[in-house]
A and B are shown apart, each in its own frame.
Chain A
Amino acid sequence: DIQMTQSPSYLSASVGDRVTITCRASQSVRTYVSWFQQIPGRAPKLLIYAASSLRSGVPSRFIGDGSETEFTLSISSLQPEDFATYYCQQSYSTPYTFGQGTKVDIK
Chain B
Amino acid sequence: EIVLTQSPGTLSLSPGERATLSCMSSRSLVSSYLAWYQQKPGQAPRLLIYGTSNRAAGIPDRFVGGRSGSDFTLTISGLEPEDFAVYYCQYYSGSPMYTFGPGTKVEIK
- Bind each other: no
